[in-house]
Copies of this chain bind each other. A is one copy, B any other.
């Protein structure tokens, strides 16, 4: 019997029992946050860890969506189920993303082995960084062995979201050398695989050299130097190589317990982030209340500097 309600308990049980029809509503509950999301989290968390999550990030125009579509095709050809979570951290509206969803879902409308879902921020990035791991766990609970997480951008926030995957693929278009320069440290920190897409562009070779040169200056304590793969996603060229690089990285992580260590670190980081968000929320609420109105006035009138004011709030809260 299909679950019709938005009850988090019923939806969680249905999805855990294999009813993917309940998945869109379960994800809406998770995305909505609050007590419903917490209830889902308590139920699905223990069942997690089976899915392998691959993050894809890169600047707008890098061709991530096309590459993702090709990867779906590749996986389906080998009979593997795949779910896609498309995240747009910079858009406060989900209109465009949802339209894209529909277009992309149409290709797979009759294929229960493919599931595509978009998320957009509602103006709160901290929230997105916390929401994505929860969404991943729900897709994991639905039994998808592969989950692709697509984010737009190479800023700090996008890179953080992509970093919540097991393997992170940074997709760059030729001619994006400046952007690479600007965010070198952030890219190197998260990239497990570099893909130069639209590699039929003559500037691809230059970008390839820039990336290798940048990596020559780095060290690889885990014994993995990100390979650079060239693809032309529109024609499908190199897409299998890109997935091979992902699989190679997965096998590397699975040896020597690296994958478990990486996931443990992520779980602890998530716990820290949740704690910080909850404490921050309560600090904001306190500051907005009558108790500290005089203190805030002291700061805006320059009688008290904000660091000393923060000390006073912390002392009072103790």
> What is the interface of chain A, defined by CB distance below 8 A to chain B?
38, 41-42, 45-46, 48-49, 59-61, 89-92, 123, 125, 152-153, 155-158, 178-179, 181-186, 263-264, 267-268, 270-272, 274-276, 278-280, 283-284, 287, 296, 299-300, 302-310, 313-314
Whether B49 lies near A305 (C-beta < 8 A) is no
Question: B302 touching A45 by the CB < 8 A rule?
Answer: yes
The docked-state distance in angstroms from the alpha carbon of A46 to that of B270 is 39
Q: Is the CB of B185 within 8 A of A91?
A: yes
How many copies make up the complex?
2
Choose one: B48, B183, B307; the contact of A38 (CB below 8 Å): B307
In the assembled complex, the CB of A264 is this many whole angstroms from the nearest CB of chain B, namely 4
A70 CA to B270 CA in the complex, in Å?
A: 45
In the complex, A300→B264 CA distance in Å? 5
Contact of A283 among B178, B186, B275 (CB under 8 A): B275
B157 and A302: CB pair below 8 A? no
7 A-B pairs whose Cβ atoms sit less than 8 Å apart in the complex: A45-B302, A59-B182, A91-B185, A153-B155, A153-B183, A263-B300, A271-B287
- CB-nearest residue of chain B to A185: B92
Contact of A305 among B45, B158, B263, B305 (CB under 8 A): B45
Cα(A263)–Cα(B299), bound, Å: 11
Residues of B within 8 A of A92 (CB): 185
Report the minimum CB–CB distance from A33 to chain B (whole Å).
10
A306 interface neighbour in B179, B183, B267, Cβ under 8 Å: B267
Tell me the smallest distance from the CB of A309 to a CB of chain B, in Å: 6
Q: Is the CB of B272 within 8 A of A283?
A: yes
**A184 contacts B90, C-beta separation under 8 Å:** yes
Contacts of A123 in B (CB 8 A): 185
Q: Are A178 and B41 in contact (CB under 8 A)?
A: no
3 closest A-B pairs by CB: A155-B155, A45-B305, A276-B280
CA gap between A18 and B5 in the complex, in Å: 70
Task: Determine if A310 and B91 form an interchain contact, defined as CB atoms under 8 angstroms apart.
Answer: no
Which residues of the other chain, B, contact A178 by a CB distance below 8 angstroms? 59-61
Is the CB–CB distance between B310 and A271 below 8 Å?
yes
Known: A185-B90, A186-B90, A305-B41. A275 touches B125 (CB 8 A): no
Contact A271 B183 (CB under 8 A): no
Q: Once the chains are docked, how many angstroms separate the CA of A314 from the CA of B43?
A: 21
Residues of B within 8 A of A156 (CB): 89-90, 125, 155-157
A310-B275 in contact given A264-B300, A305-B42 (Cβ < 8 Å) = yes
Evaluate contact between A300 and B268: CB separation under 8 angstroms. Answer: yes
B60 and A307 contact, CB distance less than 8 A? no
Cβ–Cβ < 8 Å partners of A268 in chain B: 287, 296, 299-300
Shortest CB-to-CB span from A133 to chain B, Å, is 8
Q: What chain B residues lie within 8 Å of A271 (beta carbons)?
A: 287, 296, 299, 306, 309-310
